[in-house]
Chains A and B, each alone.
Chain A
């Protein structure tokens, strides 16, 4: 190793000026004293790890990969990327069976769906929850997302032929959640796009974006998914289509984590992947789309910006779109992590920390007392619904309801 290799890295740790601003904005630090904090886990630790992997600490697993440290860093250090890359490179702990179960979001869905009523019944039962808690260390307070009896993909198959009547076409990356747990969001998406005069098609067999595999250390699996997705996304892009999504996390993972953490080149497709809210907002502002809204729609909504949305910097689009709906009373909640971070909060050892992280957000939601919460992320949805008792809707679903068609 040359001196240069000891003192610089692809995630620019050498630009750190040791100001600790990242630590001041990390949601885990105040909630979990076992976590060394972004400065120490990131740039400080990297300097040591480059010299000797002995200095790797397993406590880095407490990082939520929320990227808030990166958003705050005055020096542009990719703090969270340093931490996640170190876990990938040095961690010796193998993912447990529990982690594999939680991470295999599409595998679980494929297995569970035909038996949806049974699985839903089982994961909802107190006894099953106790077993999951004791055997797999999945916290018993958690409500499992329900598995839909009929997946979105099979619903869409019947709709597909009708979509060709629209001159403009987009491809939809629906993600595991829409397919297995909440097909209604996919249906809402198709309804809104059609109302905007845009036809929808699906990709040539998408796979889970891989975010849960990344956070559970199943890197080979994540790489396979990423390579597959980049290939099928590429086909859609070649046929001149944009790829729209309804999940900020899938979007962020495919755009930024593929190249930064998995080393998968997504250069040909990255700029074509965008959130449906951003796409619509820009079309409406440019005067290319006009949506018909109900005259008598009314809703008091609090919008929560998910961490990965914060990192994407696209909250403005979802908020801007919601503001276009007549009859909406909108409060934008302070930027706080909800604490779930994908599968993190499902694990028994993280439950308390997860709820402590989310507390400022839940408290603010209680003060605002909205009819429901709007948010672009499915895992935030579970967490906020469980912790506040309020319903959480994707902005696309809010739009679908407000449309006068």
Chain B
């Protein structure tokens, strides 16, 4: 098989690059070893956890992908990202040129950039003060902690009432308590949401807010907004334990949009090795298909979690190309014994040129680019820049190719 561009990794970065390249008229393929970090998404994308994310670019380490791109181009790509999602049928909330806040499952507010349609984005922290809140859970569902949520909100001057719904549709699921998981419930809710909306409406007293767990709209993305139309209060959908229903649906929507543009998505296949020479990648070898050739390649294999980055006792390495990895010498300097401090190892990843060409022994590959959380220098947990880096670097690479 031959393509213009071969993308390794089908997460947020790989799919974004694939969509942008298909729109440019390139013939691309994405190969993805398994599902990805979107399945654990809070439903909110982070650009940078700072009041003015673009102004803060100047303070970032020079290795950070945003420092490479520069604040001006970052603005352009940030706006493009929202447009790309809209063309894929996903209307993200938020102004791409600024930050807002989302409500966490602990009832706290956290900075967020753009959010998936059912996740509310508040302009400022004051927006959450003084509400009367009805929090509704489903009987037997343990992955949505209503008391944490209520405690957090009460600290902000809200008053909360917690109710639990018992639905006959859920009784089958409840026979097997370990399967009372977000996605299994969401499958039931694809049909049973009308009932939930009706029951919530009848439970409502003088509350102006209703909070439900994010278990609606797995197949049909319009369900959350239909619930909102039924219930005469502001309905918020708050995150659950993984898997993330909005994240999983988003993955399916992006994949479908990519395939509709003519892209080839090879699910469950894995790149095992690559043929390289004279600073070029010629082809990759996958488990299911065998050799796949392309003019350009994109490494979007994610970080440790997705095995895009791995480690042995003494080194952090990139398994496919043995690319250079930004890291500190000596295992002792990788981590801070205090778990809650920023951890150095989380920023390790592939070293590239400023244009994201992958380096090996200091020499760039001419036709291999890296995008997303495989990149070094991110510290995405501490900086809250995970999805932003994935989207922006993927768009930047797609523009270069």
Cβ of A72 < 8 Å from any Cβ of B? yes
Cβ of A19 < 8 Å from any Cβ of B? yes
Contact A72 B306 (CB under 8 A): no
Q: Which residue on chain B has the smallest CB distance to residue A282?
A: B1
Cβ of A24 < 8 Å from any Cβ of B? yes
Interface bits A19-50 vs B (CB < 8 Å: 1, else 0) = 11101110001100111110010000000000
Question: Would you list the 4 A-B pairs with minimal beta carbon distance, nearest first?
Answer: A313-B288, A71-B268, A24-B183, A74-B34
Contact B243 A20 (CB under 8 A): yes
Scan residues 59-79 of chain A and give those whose CB is less than 8 A from a CB of chain B. 70-76
Contacts A313-B288, A316-B289 hold; do A30 and B266 have CB atoms under 8 A apart? no
Name the distance in Å between A310's Cβ and chain B's nearest Cβ: 7
Task: Give the docked Cα–Cα distance between A70 and B267 (Å).
Answer: 11
Cβ of A335 < 8 Å from any Cβ of B? yes
Scan residues 294-324 of chain A and give those whose CB is less than 8 A from a CB of chain B. 310-314, 316
Q: Which residues of A contact B183 (CB under 8 A)?
A: 20, 23-24
Contact A313 B178 (CB under 8 A): no
**Cβ contact of B178, chosen from A36, A74, A310, A332, cutoff 8 A:** A36
Q: Which residues of B contact A285 (CB under 8 A)?
A: 1
**Cβ contact of A40, chosen from B178, B268, B270, cutoff 8 A:** B178
Cβ of B40 < 8 Å from any Cβ of A? yes
List 17 extra interface pairs beyond A23-B179, A24-B183, A35-B176, CB under 8 A. Answer: A19-B39, A21-B243, A33-B176, A34-B175, A36-B176, A37-B176, A70-B268, A71-B34, A73-B34, A74-B35, A74-B39, A76-B270, A285-B1, A310-B267, A313-B269, A313-B288, A316-B266
Contact B242 A19 (CB under 8 A): yes
Contact B184 A23 (CB under 8 A): yes
Contact B181 A24 (CB under 8 A): yes
Contact B266 A21 (CB under 8 A): no
Task: Give the docked Cα–Cα distance between A72 and B243 (Å).
Answer: 12
Contact A29 B179 (CB under 8 A): yes
Contact B268 A20 (CB under 8 A): no
Contact B269 A37 (CB under 8 A): no
Name the distance in Å between B189's Cβ and chain A's nearest Cβ: 11
Contact B176 A313 (CB under 8 A): no
Contact B264 A21 (CB under 8 A): no
A contact residues, range:
20 to 34
Interface bits B290-326 vs A (CB < 8 Å: 1, else 0) = 0000000000000001110000000000000000000
Q: Which residues of A contact B396 (CB under 8 A)?
A: none
Task: Give the docked Cα–Cα distance between A25 and B251 (Å).
Answer: 13
Name the distance in Å between B93's Cβ and chain A's nearest Cβ: 24
**Residues of chain B whose beta carbon lies under 8 Å from any beta carbon of chain A:** 1, 33-36, 39-40, 172-173, 175-176, 178-179, 181, 183-184, 187-188, 219, 242-243, 248, 256, 259, 264, 266-270, 286-289, 305-307
Contact B173 A20 (CB under 8 A): no
Contact B267 A313 (CB under 8 A): yes
Q: Which residues of A contact B33 (CB under 8 A)?
A: 74, 76
Name the distance in Å between B232's Cβ and chain A's nearest Cβ: 31
Contact B288 A314 (CB under 8 A): yes
Q: Which residue on chain A has the smallest CB distance to residue B11?
A: A74
Contact A30 B188 (CB under 8 A): yes
Q: Which residues of A contact B219 (CB under 8 A)?
A: 360
Q: Which of A30, A36, A75, A285 has the most CB of B within 10 A?
A: A30
Interface bits A189-204 vs B (CB < 8 Å: 1, else 0) = 0000000000000000
Contact A19 B264 (CB under 8 A): no
Contact B36 A33 (CB under 8 A): no
Contact B176 A332 (CB under 8 A): no
Contacts A19-B242, A30-B184, A33-B175 hold; do A74 and B36 have CB atoms under 8 A apart? yes
Name the distance in Å between A139's Cβ and chain B's nearest Cβ: 21
Task: Give the docked Cα–Cα distance between A23 and B305 (Å).
Answer: 18
Contact B39 A21 (CB under 8 A): yes
Q: Which residues of B contact A25 (CB under 8 A)?
A: 35
Q: Which residues of A contact B305 (CB under 8 A)?
A: 74
Q: List 9 A-B contacts (CB under 8 A).
A: A20-B243, A23-B183, A24-B243, A33-B172, A34-B176, A36-B178, A71-B268, A72-B35, A313-B269
Q: Which residues of B contact A35 (CB under 8 A)?
A: 176
Contacts A23-B179, A24-B181 hold; do A76 and B34 have CB atoms under 8 A apart? yes
Contact B242 A310 (CB under 8 A): no
Interface bits A323-353 vs B (CB < 8 Å: 1, else 0) = 0000000001011000000000000000000
Contact B181 A23 (CB under 8 A): yes
Q: Which residues of A contact B35 (CB under 8 A)?
A: 21, 25, 72-74
Q: Which residues of B contact A332 (CB under 8 A)?
A: 259
Contact A313 B268 (CB under 8 A): yes
Q: Which of A21, A311, A312, A314 has the most CB of B within 10 A?
A: A21
Task: Give the docked Cα–Cα distance between A30 and B189 (Å).
Answer: 11
Q: Which residues of A contact B269 (CB under 8 A)?
A: 313
Task: Give the docked Cα–Cα distance between A153 and B173 (Å).
Answer: 48
**Cβ contact of B179, chosen from A33, A74, A310, cutoff 8 A:** A33
Task: Give the docked Cα–Cα distance between A311 and B219 (Å).
Answer: 22
Q: Which residues of B contact A36 (CB under 8 A)?
A: 176, 178-179
Q: Which of B33, B184, B242 has the most CB of A within 10 A?
A: B184
Q: Which residue on chain B has the smallest CB distance to residue A15?
A: B307
Contacts A33-B175, A71-B34, A74-B306 hold; do A311 and B39 have CB atoms under 8 A apart? no
Contacts A37-B176, A313-B267 hold; do A20 and B289 have CB atoms under 8 A apart? no
Contact B187 A30 (CB under 8 A): yes
Task: Give the docked Cα–Cα distance between A19 and B176 (Å).
Answer: 18
Name the distance in Å between A320's Cβ and chain B's nearest Cβ: 9
Contact A20 B181 (CB under 8 A): yes
Task: Give the docked Cα–Cα distance between A313 and B156 (Å).
Answer: 51
Q: Which residue on chain B has the smallest CB distance to residue A70?
A: B268
Q: Which residue on chain B has the smallest CB distance to residue A332?
A: B259
Task: Give the docked Cα–Cα distance between A310 and B269 (Å).
Answer: 10
Q: Which residues of B contact A75 (CB under 8 A)?
A: 34, 307
Q: Which residues of A contact B178 (CB under 8 A)?
A: 36-37, 40
Q: Which residues of A contact B264 (CB under 8 A)?
A: 316
